Chains A and B, each alone.
Chain A
Amino acid sequence: MNVIGSLYFYVCAAVAIAGAIATVTARNPIRGAVSLLVMVVSIAGLFLALSAEFLAAIQLIVYAGAIVVLFLFVIMILGESSSSVHDKKRIVSRTLAAALLGAVSLGAIVLVVGVSTPLQAPRIRAGFGGIDAIGRALFSDWVVPFELSSALLMVAVLGAVAIAKGDIKRPLESAATTPGSASEEQP
């Protein structure tokens, strides 16, 4: 990799990490969502450096275009109450617990990666990761799981519709909630 390439990688990686930290630490949820956007876009930049243009585009469309916008919508709908965080209880013990857990997981990863024999990266063919290659792979070698994933999408849509159509106003049988009070609440 040449100098400009490394520079590009480091800039993208630094911006991604800064965005991730800002996402976690932001007090204002809107600011958090926008930091997430920054992180997502810089990761798309990293994908570009790996000449995975398709993945970069998908990253932008799905994460930046759809998910972050969804987050913003939710924050807007929930309104002011969600925007202020006053939870400072046991901040020290929580920080300590987080640090401990993080250190343990980091240690486990370092240990495992250190002991493992290095993986051999397979040689990548020309056009790998392009739209053409991905389309071919999806509809030839991977056609069975690709088709099966339609069942997953179907059940997700159905589930969302089923819950959304539910009537939330009708008083329901109370028996399900409190044992022994079978006929208190008649409609």
Chain B
Amino acid sequence: MLLMFALSPFLVLGGGALLLMLAEVFSRRPSGLAIGTTIVFITSGAFSVALWLYGIEFLPVGILSPWILVDKFTLFFNVLLCLGGALASLLAGGYLVEYKLNRGEFYSILLFATFGGMMLASAGDFLTLFLGLETMSLGAYALTAFRRASPRSAEGALKYFLLGSFAAAIMLYGIALVYGATGSTDLARVGAAFSHGVVTSHPMALIGLVLIVIGLLFKVSAVPFHMWTPDAYEGAPTPATAYMAVVVKSAAFAMMLRVLLTSFGDAESMSWSAGWPPALAAIAVLTMTVANLIAGRQDSVKRMLAYSSIAHAGYLLVGVVVALRSKEQAAAGVIFYLATYTVSTIGAFGALILLGSYGKEAVSYDDLAGVGKRHPAIAMAFSLFLFSLAGVPPTAGFFGKWFIFRAAMDSGFYWLTILAFINSVIGAYYYLRVLVFMYMREPQPGAAIAVPMQSRHVKAALLLSAVFVLALGLAPTCTLDAAIAAATTFRM
């Protein structure tokens, strides 16, 4: 029974997805599916919170290990992924109905993809890790291709699918090489083999490490493995874009932290002279700079947000590099940043959704001209989320950046901190540009005007995200303590 309790977040999500598929067949009101999905997500998250409060040390999880590790790291990410999923399904409840795309499969895929994400965050073995990765990615490919009549959607989905499959294959090859060298797929045992110097006797373990890291970087869309991101994000229906930017990215970072800190977390692999941190630091700088420079040149706000999500991956990578000095501090910073990033990003995409309606979608900067006067409430919410993404106090994004930058300073990475800081200033330019258009421009005479949709679902999602953004910005202590507790999983 306790074992069922330990697995309850997974069981609720999987069972709920199957039930909703049945409900879709018999239901007359398809708009209820969004609410149902949200409830399933919230229930699963609530079970994770209950497990956290019950105490993981009392659970009989030995039989699940190493396939699924039920620790605080897992539970924190379960809650985070369920929060992102719940908000995304609320957005979908408004968007899909408005654009006449309301097919029930969307919600089931959303649930199963999040199931995969939770597998990814909790996997203690390369086998379950890869299964979770594929479950999540296949869901994301299908969500991208969901708007089948749009050529953009098909193009983005095909690029995403092909590149994603190659990345998965490269990663699998890396896993095979590491397995060949160490004789195990268990992350902890691989870590033990690496700390006993398996690299010197079997250099193929090193090639395996490189290939696995490339696969990880692809999934978090770091430069130069980001080519698929703008097209996939632009082509997908906007709730799916928000979902990919938030849930897929968080799960990928959870996987990255777990793999890098557990399997490749020995002194030599993490050293500045012979390990992965310098490569990761270079990629972090490249990711931030390239993404920010390109994001400033976009006409489409949706595409700008896609590049902004790449830039945020760069800041997060800075947080991962800090692991060189302190694994716990690095993990805590990244986890907290992901929490702030989740609520801000979902909110920004939600505001963009709410500003448009069928045939009058808000996409470009010009569509947003004068919105501040016509629809002040939505414009204010949008501004709040953009401030949070830019890292302006007292919003959530400020503390997210603050903890990562401070961790980098504490570890002596002054140059990396300065580069990240310069980049967040560049980033502020294109976020504030949205505000300029909303409050200081008037639409061109005769130009099409985006008309906001009427949807209680989307409004509820915006309200929830706004509350979270302000709560994390004004009182970050509670969440931060949880993030620090989750990071103790990586105590040496």
Contacts and interface: CB of A to CB of B under 8 A. Distances in A.
A90 to B, nearest CB: 22
Interface string A141-184: 00011001101101110111111011111111101110111111
Interface residues of A, number: 44
Interface in A23-64: none
A155 B139 contact: yes
Of A119, A154, A181, A184, the most chain B CB neighbours within 10 A belong to A154
Given A165-B105, A173-B358, A145 B147 contact: no
B50 interface: no
B414 interface: no
Nearest to A170: B149
Contact of A152 (B108, B116, B150): B116
A185 B359 contact: yes
A116 B201 contact: yes
Given A145-B128, A173-B99, A175-B363, A152 B138 contact: yes
Contact of A159 (B142, B181, B448): B142
A155 B149 contact: no
A185 B358 CA distance: 11
B138 A159 contact: yes
A2 interface: no
A112 B82 CA distance: 43
Contacts of B146: 162-163, 166
B119 interface: yes
A187 interface: yes
A152 B134 CA distance: 7
A180 B356 CA distance: 13
A182 B449 CA distance: 7
A177 B152 CA distance: 7
Contacts of A156: 138
A148 B128 contact: yes
Contact of A112 (B141, B204, B449): B204
Interface residues of B, number: 63
B450 interface: yes
A169 B450 CA distance: 24
A114 B21 CA distance: 54
Contacts, number: 155
B109 A145 contact: no
A116 B363 contact: no
Interface in B129-168: 131-132, 134-135, 138-139, 141-142, 145-153
Contacts of A112: 203-204, 207
B336 interface: no
A145 B127 contact: yes
Contacts of B201: 116-117
Contacts of B131: 145, 148-149, 151-152
Interface in B70-98: none
B207 A175 contact: no
A115 B153 CA distance: 48
A183 B448 contact: yes
A11 interface: no
A97 interface: no
B13 to A, nearest CB: 9
A155 B203 contact: no
B364 A180 contact: yes
A64 B132 CA distance: 28
A49 to B, nearest CB: 21
A169 B147 CA distance: 11
Contacts of A182: 356, 359-363, 367, 448-450
A113 interface: yes
B148 A116 contact: no
A111, A180, A184 pick with most chain B CB within 10 angstroms = A180
B328 interface: no
Interface string B175-196: 0000011000000000000000
Given A116-B201, A162-B105, A162-B146, 11 more contacts: A144-B128, A148-B67, A148-B135, A155-B142, A159-B142, A160-B142, A165-B105, A175-B356, A176-B235, A179-B364, A187-B359
25 contacts: A111-B203, A112-B207, A116-B201, A119-B202, A144-B67, A155-B115, A158-B105, A158-B108, A158-B112, A158-B139, A159-B109, A159-B138, A162-B106, A162-B109, A163-B146, A166-B103, A167-B149, A170-B149, A175-B359, A175-B363, A176-B147, A180-B366, A183-B359, A186-B359, A187-B359
Q: When A and B form their complex, which 7 residue pairs have the shortest distance between CB atoms, in order from nearest? A: A159-B142, A166-B148, A179-B364, A182-B448, A162-B105, A175-B361, A144-B67
